[in-house]
Structure 1
């Protein structure tokens, strides 16, 4: 993925990693469109970042995604990059159905069906562009599980394999598939994560991602150094230690 000259749509970018990358991609010389559910946050972003466009979209609602995708394409016919950023991360207790079923269903809808529907809405347009990118967003937890978030882990593992499979199908087309694999980052994705000593500072993460995109434009997986502990535990042969360390350090692990 080239670092500038793109038109990029990032749904789920009204805060956290999405917004940090939207700001940096805009500053690098891209046209950026931020999507989100809350009008007040979108208005605030538009006011604070002149030049960043905004559009209301609910990635859990198929009708909203269809309408928003049509509007994005109409307003930005040069759109060539889709970043499927939206996601939720919630605690689950699998010892009783009341402790996980509703949360698990919501997580699958947002984290897995959301990206699938978004890609479905944009794939024909992207294939018509001479140089296009789909950036999926998985997680270090796709490769090593956090005990208290089983469905989040599973959806991110699914996103990883979906990315691998899409890349095979889209080989030879104008569309590249890039997978962003964040570690724990100091955001409000989950309660207490912003204050966690285990979480990577947001600005440090976003700056390193941008550096990787500059230095490695052909990368298929964007991995900051901190995520490699989780990503390659099985390959290194220390997977059990990775899982134990992850769950010992996370503030929610004893929940």
Structure 2
């Protein structure tokens, strides 16, 4: 019995050791599962719905102009055929795509329900008055082309001009569309006067020159750069000479 008890003890100890080894192996093989990558559940924002604009209803030959401020919409419409004008007002719902409200004319009024297309280029819907109903559709009128509002530079003849061909200096002053001044030919000390008015956006100056008893017409054209001009003039005796003589290149003085 004593030998059997020793063998039994050895067997029990062996089983116990195997259990410890097995348990340690399981503990080492068990790890933390990796955390899955977070996926954003925030949807892309929808475009803002706006009823503001001009809408054309081809079925009724009608133009409607609407203005939206927050959730309220108001405006006017005009039926071209019978020159009937009216007013509309209402509020939006369903993310701004539905417009519910009322319409009114001089002797009539009713309700309206309109639904904007996802493209926001047209809407469909209907109107009611008493027990009558009818379609109300509209197509958005294209926005007008943007035209540059930068004004063209103002043309000014005011300044001192040097005529290199005639060795002449001319001083001009412009007030609105009128120009006047004096000139001096250095070679023969001839002093004269000029006066005229501008046209063609200010780039053309037409008038008369005078030297004592002599006078004649002239026409000058300003360059786009406004740093020089050219033109012509006629002699003081147009009854005998109608020739247009060149008015030499005149350059704006920098001083």
TM class, shorter-length:
under 0.3
TM-score by length of 2: 0.20
Higher helix share: 1
TM-score by length of 1: 0.20
Higher relative contact order (CA 8 A, sep 6+): 1
Work out which of the two has the higher radius of gyration on C-alpha atoms and give 1 or 2. Answer: 2
